[in-house]
Amino acid sequence: MGLRVYNTLTRSKEDFMPRDEGQVSIYVCGVTPYDETHIGHARPSVVWDVIRKYLRKKGYKVVYVQNFTDVDDKIIARSAQLGISTGELSSKYIQDYLDAMEALGVAPADHYPKVSQHIDAIVAMVEHLIEQGFAYVVDGDVYFHVPAFSEYGKLSKQQLDELESGARIDVSADKRNPLDFALWKKSSPDEPGWDSPWGYGRPGWHIECSAMSLKYLGAGFDFHGGGMDLVFPHHENEIAQSESHTGCTFARYWLHNGLVTVNDEKMSKSLGIFLTVSTLLAKYHRELLRFYILSTHYRSPLEFNEEKIEEAKKGWQRLSETYQRLASRYGGEEAKEPLPWAQEAFTEAMDDDFNTARAMAVCFDVVRYANGPDCTEEAAAGAYAFLAEVAEGILGVVSTDSQPMIDSGLSAELVELLLAVREQLRQEKNWRLSDLIRDELAKLGIIVEDTKEGSRWKMN
C-alpha cells in the first residue's frame, strides 16, 4: 500500500496520486511579516520540511512554494506605530523568519514569492474574474460575489444559506451579499498601493495566495497546506476565486496542521501569549524542538510549555546518546544497509498520512534493539545506518554536528576516548586501572560491555 493522506476537502484518507508522474507540487501559506517568528510559524515549517524530505526519499521531484504576505493591514498598522515604512518592517521580519528556519534546520523553499512582487498577476486575475461575472466593482473596491460560485463551502462543509444568515454585514453596504469578500481594496494616499483599472489600491488577502500559487504551480497542484484556522474563510475563498478563474480544480489535496497552544491557552500576540523561536533556541537544542513538534501527529493540537518539553527531553537524550555512540563507532565505516524491519515500519508510518509520531516510535524501537544484549555488530551498524538516514536525515531530531551532553555531562566522543584508553590498559593487562574506568563510568550511568568484537557502551 502506498502513500495515503487525509484530505480536508473530503474529510477522509485518500491514496496519493500526483498530478504529474514522479513530481509533487506544494504550496503552503506563509507568514505575515510584522513581528518575530514564533512557534506557531515553526510547526508547519518543520512538518513540511519532513514531508518534503520523505517525498524525495520516495523518489519524487518536489517543488515547494511558501509565500510572504508582505501587503497586509497588520503590516500597515505596525509600521505606522513604529514610524517606519511597510517595506522596511516586512523585510526585517522576513529575514527574521528565514534566520529562524535555518536555525531549526528547515530547508529553504524552492520559491518564496512576495505579494508586493506579484501585483500584475493579481490585477490580471481580478480583471478576469470581473469579465467572467464572478466579481464586481464598487467605488474603487472589487468584491468576489460568493453566490456566483455554486460549490462555495465545500472545503469547510458549511452551507451558503447558513453562512448568509449568520454573517455580519461588512463596512461597505454596497456589497451584493454579506459574504462577498474583497479582491482589491481602495487605499488612501498615505497607505501602500498600486495603480489599477479601479484606482489606487492594494490586493485583498485571499487573492494573493491564489495568484501566486497558480503562477508557480499551475492549476490542480498536489498539496495545499496551512493551519486549521485557515480552512475558513481563507482557503474556502481561495478555492472559490481560483476555480472560478481557471474553471478546474485548484488544489487536489488539502492538509491542515493543528493549532499550537502555550500553557493551555491559544496563542495570541495581542495578549502576549506566544513563544518566539529565538527564545526557545536560546534554551533548547534545535533537534529537541523538532523532536517535540514531530512527536505529535501534524493534525493534532500541540501544547507548548516548559514542563512538557522537559519531559520530552529525557526521551530525546536517550535517542541522541544512542545515535552518538553508534556514530562514533560506525560513522567512519563503509555505509551498511539500514535495518530492513525498521525501514519497513518507518515507511508504513509515514505512508499513513505522514505520521511522524509513529515514525519516532520506530526510532525508539531501534534504540532499544541497539542497546539490547542480542544486537550483533552487523545489526548495530544497520541501526546506525537507519538512524542516520531517518532520525537525522529526514526527521532532523538528532545530529552528530551539535553534540548534546549526555546525562553524565560527558559527550559521546569523550566516552569513546575513555574506552580507547581502557582497551590499551587491558592489552597491557593493567586490570586495576581498566576496571576503575569501567566502574567510574558505571557511577555516571554508562554501562560498559566487553564483547568478542570489543568494548561497547550504553546508558543505564
- Span of 194-203, 242-251, 385-394, 432-441 with lowest mean pLDDT: 432-441
Partner residues linked to 201 by β-bridges: 186, 194
Whether 298 and 354 have beta carbons less than 8 Å apart is answered as yes
Q: How many CA atoms lie within 13 A of 275 on its CB side?
A: 23
Residue type, 404: P
Query: What letter would DSSP give residue 391?
Result: I
What was the pLDDT predicted at 144?
98
Whether 255 and 29 have beta carbons less than 8 Å apart is answered as no
How far is Cα 239 from Cα 122, in angstroms, rounded to an integer? 15
What was the pLDDT predicted at 169?
43
Nearest CA-CA partner of 201 in 299, 92, 73, 101: 73
User: CA angle at residue 356 from 21 to 223, to 5 degrees?
Assistant: 35
pLDDT in tens, 160-188: 877 775 555 444 678 999 999 999 999 99
What was the pLDDT predicted at 428?
81
Nearest CA-CA partner of 198 in 139, 132, 128, 133: 139
Mean pLDDT of 127-152: 97
The 10 Å Cβ neighbour count of residue 75 is 22
What was the pLDDT predicted at 332?
78
What was the pLDDT predicted at 402?
53
How far is Cα 64 from Cα 24, in angstroms, rounded to an integer? 8
Whether 14 and 1 have beta carbons less than 8 Å apart is answered as no
Cell, residue 355: 505520521
Task: Band the pLDDT of 195: cuts 50, 70, 90.
Answer: very high
Is 19-266 in CATH node 3.40.50.620? yes
How far is Cα 113 from Cα 70, in angstroms, rounded to an integer? 10
Nearest CA-CA partner of 292 in 279, 311, 265: 311
Cell, residue 76: 500597515
Whether 210 and 235 have beta carbons less than 8 Å apart is answered as no
Whether 35 and 57 have beta carbons less than 8 Å apart is answered as no
Mean pLDDT of 152-159: 94
Mean pLDDT of 92-116: 97
pLDDT in tens, 282-314: 999 999 999 999 999 999 999 998 899 999 999
pLDDT in tens, 49-89: 999 999 999 999 999 999 999 999 999 999 999 999 999 99
Average pLDDT, the chain: 91
Residue 410 has pLDDT above 70, yes or no: no
Torsion of CA 361, 365, 367, 368, to 10 degrees: 130
How far is Cα 205 from Cα 234, in angstroms, rounded to an integer? 8
pLDDT in tens, 350-376: 999 999 999 999 999 999 999 998 999
What was the pLDDT predicted at 104?
97
| pLDDT, greater one: 264 or 443 | 264
Instruction: Give the residue extent of every domain in the chain.
Output: 19-266, 315-392, 412-459
Whether 40 and 274 have beta carbons less than 8 Å apart is answered as yes
User: CA angle at residue 392 from 389 to 394, to 5 degrees?
Assistant: 65
Helix (H) or strand (E) segment spanning residue 7 = strand 4-7
Backbone phi, psi, residue 330, to 5°: -115, -5
Question: Pairing state of beta strands 23-28 and 12-15?
Answer: unpaired
Nearest CA-CA partner of 443 in 451, 452, 435: 435
How far is Cα 265 from Cα 127, in angstroms, rounded to an integer? 43
What was the pLDDT predicted at 440?
78
Please identify which residue in the block is written with the cell numbers 523532536: 291
Helix (H) or strand (E) segment spanning residue 48 = helix 39-57
Residue 333 has pLDDT above 80, yes or no: no
How far is Cα 28 from Cα 5, in angstroms, rounded to an integer? 16
How far is Cα 450 from Cα 143, in angstroms, rounded to an integer? 76
What was the pLDDT predicted at 403?
53
Whether 318 and 376 have beta carbons less than 8 Å apart is answered as no
How far is Cα 36 from Cα 163, in angstroms, rounded to an integer? 34
Write the burial class of residue 379 (CB in 10 Å: 0-12 exposed, 13-18 middle, 19+ buried): middle
Mean pLDDT of 9-36: 97
Which residues, other chains included, contact 218 with Cβ-Cβ below 8 Å and sequence gap of 6+?
25
Cell, residue 113: 514569492
Whether 308 and 280 have beta carbons less than 8 Å apart is answered as no
Whether 100 and 278 have beta carbons less than 8 Å apart is answered as yes
Fold classification of 315-392 is Four Helix Bundle (Hemerythrin (Met), subunit A) (1.20.120)
Backbone phi, psi, residue 287, to 5°: -65, -35
How far is Cα 211 from Cα 241, in angstroms, rounded to an integer? 10
